[in-house]
Amino acid sequence: MTKAVIFDMDGVICHTNPFHSQAFKIFFQKRDLFPTEEEFMLHMYGKNNGYILSHFLGRKIEGEELADLEFEKESLFREIYQHHVDPIPGFMEFFHALKNTNVKTGVATSAPFANLELIAGRLDLFPYLESALASEQVSKHKPDPEVYLKSAQNMGVEPADCIVFEDSFSGATAGLRAGMRVVAVLSSHTKDELPVCNHYIQDYRNLDVDTILDLIY
């Protein structure tokens, strides 16, 4: 049986949320909007840009306007974050330990591909990935399972043989709806703020590969 592990990116590979907050604060300040950290917790972390922008701007943002505003905000994020790319503790060791056991790996993010290029490129993950999907490659965002089902298809693996690492409610829900095992990374949310997952970690330090792979029966 071929097993696969699929990682979300923000809050799972790198703890990017503080930098997304900075970018959104600059973006919204230009429009005389000043969301609180509590509002970001409820309406930004783990959400796609269409939802975030529509919520905070108070109207439906879609189509070309969404593409333009998303590009503005994500460009701000990349400008800030390029100087801070740093994986969650233990991630690189765990990732390469997975590859040493011939497990297939993928990344499935709701962020734009340019963000994935920045992070996966800086960490040199691309040579080791069998699948790399970003927002441009799907038509339905998490909690819809499309990005995870498509990842499994890319890797030639059955959804039931996949393990997903997620940090948000919508992301974990997408993994579960795809029929996959889900490991919750508690970088952005508490256990109580997430759906019931198969395993929970604070970070990847001392995380045993066999323990994770054993989640697939």
- Does 55 share its domain with 145? no
Domain assignment of residue 40, given as a range? 17-81
Q: Which of 66, 81, 96 is the last residue of a domain?
A: 81
161-195 tens-digit pLDDT? 999 999 999 999 999 999 999 999 999 889 999 99
Read off the CATH number of the domain in which 42 is found: 1.10.150.240
In Å, what is the CA distance from 159 to each residue of 6, 146, 169?
Answer: 11, 11, 19
- Does 175 share its domain with 207? yes
- Does 122 share its domain with 159? yes
- Does 22 share its domain with 94? no
According to DSSP, the residues that pair with 105 across neighbouring strands are 5
- Does 192 share its domain with 103? yes
Q: What single letter denotes the amino acid at residue 174?
A: A
- Does 30 share its domain with 121? no
- Does 27 share its domain with 104? no
Q: What is the mean pLDDT of residues 82-110?
A: 96
Q: What single letter denotes the amino acid at residue 32?
A: D
At residue 47 the predicted structure's pLDDT band, cuts being 50, 70 and 90, is confident
* pTM of structure: 0.93
Residue 152 has pLDDT above 90, yes or no: yes
Q: What is the C-alpha to C-alpha distance for residues 20 and 151, in angstroms, rounded to an integer?
A: 25
Read off the CATH number of the domain in which 173 is found: 3.40.50.1000
